[in-house]
Structure 1
């Protein structure tokens, strides 16, 4: 009994001593490395012979096994944060380095601080773009980067930090437009005193004006209304006069002279305005819209005619269904639909209730004549699975396209926006129909129009209420410079496009194959836009199939449906043929249409016709160049 008690006592002493002497060795080394590589005054005195948990500004967990919090506000730290120091504190929850003289960019290894809840870096001199490493800290609740020298755009990747309750970015040099930030849990938000422009997303309009003040080119929400198609920044404020300026010492005669001169100038301007109005009234009005038979052929032409291509005129295409002019468009209420790779799209609601989409193109390199000729070509593309181009506008400052508004939105929103928008994920029949009708639209572009789409991705596939697909944003690459267009659809680009920057019919087939994989897997190949490293979707699918886990490829939302395994594998075979690395091994789009039609096994009850004389409806005599070597595992709901 005495022996047992002695053993128990000895064991207890060992346990207690181990707790007392516990030391976060790796965290201590990281902190010492940080302090030794960063200039600082003598206010920080960390003794390497004592426990890091007892140092000023350092807080450990209850067991003293790791550093929980590092708070060093206003202690005179100077210079950049060395890499491989603070980034090694992978158990850190709170980091405060505010009110120092730190500069440079935030180290990339900050992305290792995955458990961080609060990050305070305000009142320093940090530079560079918004730190992408910080956007990977998904558990952050408070982020304060205010009063630094950060520049560039605020990335959409801030949405990765889905637990944020406070985001403070004021007093920096951020530029560009505000991304659509999910503000459901966001209680405090501030981007004042930057160089932001454009419209404030609706999700952020709940915050007060003070959150956006000091950005003269921002509009919408709590600020002034936007003119979405011809925005002009507010004039720079006139600085107040300082004491001692001459304006305060002007004589009475000088003041009278200024007043008389101003009156004369105002009268001259008024006379000039009256003459301009009188001259304009004397000119007969000219038609703007050119639907079939509404204006003489000499004026209308095939796409509006040269007489309509006057300044401030929309050019409508023959057979159009709309009747409005540019002034109607400017008076329309507008809502931002999305900021894509070729420009920003707006939903414009005209006074009579007509809804259209107006796309403001950016980075256009083509001159007016080349632009008009190319728009004429695209305006002739008519097919039930293409979004028709209705009109265009060209000026030195603005290039606009007018298209039909599709209420059902895009395939991207249907697949990946279900949780946010409340939509139910598409079932197998819908996905199959989308694949076939999108293929038919693309085949029509290739065969009948001889036009390369060049920008195929799920956000450019729009849907009708019956879930038939319509291809949008097609054929626009030639009006952009190679440099501007080379990165327009990362994740969907064929390997040869990455190298040559030239899009072809075969590269379109590759991009369409990626869309098919997106339909089957439910995964987006363009996750880089969300601040992630992104996935090479074709390579991922090949790796899964190679390991004989074919069924693991498919979207879990499809697991609830019975007896579709064979059809899913067939469509997967078609997709894998399309994304072949070698362009010549890819099928042409007519063959893709026929292969997808075969997946229907001759079904016609859903209104999807089988192949006809139209080359976009499919062709015979083609088999997939590859086969899955293993059948799909049984899929159960």
Structure 2
């Protein structure tokens, strides 16, 4: 009862600041209930206890928006104040309304900057702040993967247009502001009307081209400086000559040693950072320096994709940097490389991938064009006739595999308060991981369907964790490099579809449905806490057997059961997993359907939790 009263007090404070001259028939008082007392503009969920929408359009509101009071209603999804006269700023506290999906503030008198905290509203789908007096820059909302609408036209916004996922946006308009700089790559999605009225903007689809980048300013130098730098250059040339002479002299013996190294037996493909498997290669050499003979060829140079972190990275920088061997797989190795600037990278070295340089380059560049915040991007790549290197940003928090099966070791490596449960990977966190990974995979499938590029090797050890513990799908599209197990799965799919073993080409559709199967196994990992073996067949067989014997609850991780996780939600997710691992690939749903079902399960779970928080005691 006390929680309910605090909620009503906060909402009354919100409306008093927003509409000081409201009518008597509005409700919005502490003596009535928001869901049952007819409060104007309030829509509740079916439980009649939780507020879902607040829509107060065209009511001549003249006050300010008190976001702190508003966000006391935890499950609010829609806020609409269109066509009023609301003044003041949009406060940072708006991020506390973490469930918001729709924010409509069109046609008011808001001023000040759009808060950077908007980027933390990860569930946002529609944002309309047009026809106001907002100034300053546009927040970076690139991590909001589900954003469909961003309208901010007719304001006073300035600066550059930040990155947006334009391939996902349905509506975008920033016209009539003070924005400057180049228009980002829109992928042909929007025309010039979305950007007109910004004299400082340039580039397609606007008619005015961007001016060429000015040459780097040359520092003025005196004769003394000239001779000093010339002397440095001469010394450098002499040193390089001596080093080159030494390397040529010792080339044969070093070559033999490297060949011997290459013959070493490789083991399992799971990454390990234990001291028995780690190998530090310091100084000016590393295990992938055997390609240095080819590094001078223009066709084999390092290709840096769109990443400011390694904007000027060169292949020689990788060769000179200390490299730590993290693990070896059937077709390559993984290294941790630390550059002089303190930037840490992960370098995947691939062998025996029989793909031409041009095809490899096109494949990597195509994957780079389809970006999702929960997919780890390739920041650079190298291709020669002998081998290929893929460069990623290093993720220090490990993988989902470690989080599930080696949690004690992982949490000891993180800066977590002693009061927190180091062993906890609760149901809400697991469901969030499932939702984000399924959405990311669905997005990549949709963007790369025409190219036939599936993931090809999806497993929990290939889902890494960012600094914010966000799941990141890694090694997308390396199906030909590290997919012997997955190839077997795809051939098995083909067998079931055609009732005969497939020794020929496996269809691209099967490749995507194989990803669906692999995702289903990850769901079983999340639900059972069991380690996957034998491509997941053992785990799938055990789960199906338990269900046939009506022991469904017995398959769930005991840690989830003991925490009181929702059995209804767990069973629902288990049913999704079983659809994904159907023995017939044609019977499996596509990842877009899977993501939709999981998102529905998650929304239902969040609503239940929110109701518990704000319901009567």
TM-score, normalising length: structure 1: 0.45
Which structure's relative contact order is higher, taking Cα pairs within 8 Å and 6+ residues apart?
2
**Whose Rg is larger?**
1
